[in-house]
Structure formats: structure tokens, C-alpha cells
Amino acid sequence: MIKRLVVWCTLIGIALAWPAVIYSRSEPAARSVLAIQVEGVISPSTADYIIRAIKQADREAAQALVIELDTPGGLDLSMRSIIKEMLAAERPIVVYVSPGGGRAASAGAFITLAAHVAAMAPGTNIGAAHPVNMGGQMDKEMSKKVTNDAAAYIRTIAEQRGRNAQWAEDAVRKSVSATEKEALKLKIIDLVADKLDDLLAALDGREVTTAHGKVMLHTKGVEVTRIEMDLRDKILKVISDPTIAYMLLMLGIAGLYFEISTPGAILPGALGGICLILAFYGLQTLPINYAGLLLILLAIILFIAEVKVVSYGLLTVGGIVAMVLGSIMLIRSPEPFMRISLSAILLTTAATAAFFGFIVTMALRAQRQKTTTGAEGLIGQIGTVMTPLKPEGSILVEGELWSAQCEDGAEPGDKVRILAVKGLMLFVSKDYEAVAVEADAPSTQQRQGGRT
């Protein structure tokens, strides 16, 4: 009887639990949507940030990763590393060109087309993806090769995502662009949404194909978790800016020069070394013109030479001219966002010239001053005879006991003037003027007696 009761209770429990099992299989577990915001140039630090977010979305099995994008373009190598991860992603990636006034130009167009879902906010644009040589002009043959490579790359991306491949190729070959309405009509993007919440509502129920297979999106009302740049990515993004990298270079050079000219200061040398290392990291991602770099080094040499050579400011003027020209030539790029700000160049040049001018002024002032330390600084000083000078003995000068020689001889207590120094021997003569002044001065007792 008891066994039957246990069996019946078990069957009833299974029957009651079965609908819950069916429901759990039919409805996905609530998972959040991850979101990141990418603004500015596509650089190595930006690529690291996006790739880290893609891997986190795969690891956490997020509903989707939304990349809010606003970029003028960037480096080809960084762009390709991002797209490689996007094409291999297991979770849906949504690129949302926003906010209004934003753009997905050049490298940004490639990244947008590579998304599983591409969306744009009102007032945005996409396109102008013609490749440019960051180091300046390319010859005709090389330009043709680079353009053909980029055109084939963007076409295959567009075809894989079922987008307008012809327009994508024209964006590379003809630098065409499109507004959000035109992009939607031309089947370049999938959606236009005013804000992120509207985008998530529109995505709900959409099926996309990832590297893992078909995935149904359940994004309506889902929690959005934002992934921020970590401290490392933020620092690398800042120092990858051409103007910041340039200023770090100049600060590093100034710090090392100060340490060399003033040994033992330590702090300027340490800070200068740190600035140079950070500058070299930033400059490695930029199209450096070595002629410009050599002109900057020449300017530093001219500033240093001004300390050693009397040129009446001609070397300083030459250094300023070389620094301005070198700074302008340092980074050659047709893209404005990859150039050094002219105001930063003028400000840095003025500050550097002022720094070296200060060093030159201090050096000249030191050269004109009378020597007051070491053996040469003793010449002309007054000493007191401690042991008889017949002709050799000892005298006390500034609290130090020295061997001295006086041709006329001197007795203990006499004042003598130092005429020359040879090794550890001082050559002195009686300072009769000092003795006379001391003799003429009334004693304390006489002054007191005069008052009474």
C-alpha cells in the first residue's frame, strides 16, 4: 500500500512539473544585452576594446552585443582584426551608428557592413571608404592594388551579410556615402532607430545567423549592460592621438636633456624616459615621416649648441625654424584626424624654445659669475694665521685649516690674503689693509667708556 502511494505521488509530481519543463525549453533564459560605445579613430586600443567585448558576449552567451559607433575611420590593420572577430562571433553583433550627427566613414563602413544587424540613427551617414596611404601619396600602380584589395574585401563582407555589395564596392572605388534613409532603401542597413530602446524593441524576434548557427533575438525590455574601456585601453587611446604623442615626445626630450645638463636631479630624467616610451608607442601606430623626426632632433642639437657656442641667438632661431618644420612634417596624412594640431605645434615650439632659452640664460649667468667654490674660489679670501708662517705654516679660511706660505712671514692672529693656490698649498701675503681697519676700530670697552 505504501509503495503504491509513493508511485502515485511521484507520477503526480512529474505531471505537475512537465509544463514547466516544456516552457523552460521553449523560452530562452533571460540574458542581458551588452553595449559598448566607440567614438573617434579606429586604433589598436579601439580594436582591443571591441574584441574584448565580443569575447565577453560569447563567453556570457549574451542576447547580443550592440556597438554604438561614431568614427571618421582609422587604421586598416585594426579594422581587419575587428572584422575577423565579428565574422567568427557566436553571439549576434549589432552595429548602431549613433547619435544623430555621427557617421560610419571609411573603416567604420566596413565594420558596420560586417555586423549581423546594421542600424543607424536619424541624421547619420555611412560610406566614403576609399583607402588612403597614411604616409602620404601613393604611386598610381600601388593605389590601384590597394583599392582593388579593399573593394574585394568589402564586397565579400556585404555578400556574406546579404547587403548591397555593389554599393559597398562603390563606397571604396568612388567614395560614395549615404544617409540613414538612403542606406535603408539601398539595403545597406537593416534598421533605422531613434534611440537604443527603440532598436532593441525592433530587434525582438529577429533571427540572425552567426558562426554558431541561427539565433533568435529576444531583446524587448531586456537589461542592457554597458562595457566600459578599462584604464589600459583609455591610456592607449589617449596616447595614440597624434597631438598627444607629439607633445609626449617633446616633453621626453626636454626631460632627458635637463637630466643630462643637471646630473642627479633624477625626477626630470625619469619623467622624460616615461614620456618617450609612451610617445614611441603612440607614434608606432602613426605614419611617421623620418625627415620630420630628424628636423626635430636637429632643432634640439641647435638648442644645446647655443649653450656652448656664442651665436647671439642665431642657433636658437635656427632651432625654432627646424622644430616648426619638423613638427609639421612629422606625421603626413591626408586625413585631418591623423595630423598634429597646428596650434599644438606652435605652443610646443614656443615652450621648448623658452625652456632652452632659460637653460642658456642660466648657463651664461653661471659663466659670468666669479668662482666661489673649490680651490679657485679661495683666491682673494682673507684667512687668519694659526701657526707662524716662517715662511710656511697654517691658516684658517672659512672654517678650514690650510697649509700656507708667506714670503714676508706672519704671526698667529695676523690676517693674510690668499694670492694663489697650488695643490694643497696656499700662497698668501699679509693683508695690511684688514689689519689697519681692525686697529682703527674702537674696542667695545672704549665705546662704552666714551658714553659714560
Q: How far is CA 292 from CA 5, 143, 279, 325, in A?
A: 92, 24, 15, 7
CA distance 43 to 285: 8
**What residues form DSSP beta bridges with 216?**
207
Judge residue 211's burial from the number of C-beta atoms within 10 Å of its C-beta, 0-12 exposed, 13-18 middle, 19 or more buried: exposed
Phi, psi of 65 (to 5 degrees): -115, 120
Judge residue 18's burial from the number of C-beta atoms within 10 Å of its C-beta, 0-12 exposed, 13-18 middle, 19 or more buried: exposed
Looking at 145, 187, 234, 308, which residue is catalytic? Answer: 145
Residue 35's SS3 state is strand
Looking at 45, 78, 98, 106, which residue is catalytic? Answer: 106
Which residues contact residue 302 at a Cβ distance below 8 angstroms, ignoring those fewer than 6 apart? 315, 316, 318, 319, 322
Nearest to 107 by CA among 142, 139, 67, 145: 67
| Whether the Cβ atoms of residue 383 and residue 406 lie closer than 8 Å to each other | no
Nearest to 409 by CA among 430, 424, 426: 430
Other beta carbons within 10 Å of 281? 17
| Whether the Cβ atoms of residue 192 and residue 181 lie closer than 8 Å to each other | yes
Q: Which residue type does 368 have?
A: R
CA distance 195 to 189: 16
Q: Please say if 106 is a catalytic residue.
A: yes
Nearest to 87 by CA among 58, 47, 65, 114: 114
Bridging pattern class, strands 117-120 and 224-226 = unpaired
| DSSP assignment string, 109-165 | HHHHHTSSEEEE-TT-EEE------TTSPPPHHHHHHHHHHHHHHHHHHHHHTT--H
CA distance 343 to 334: 18
- Give the residue numbers marked as catalytic: 106, 145
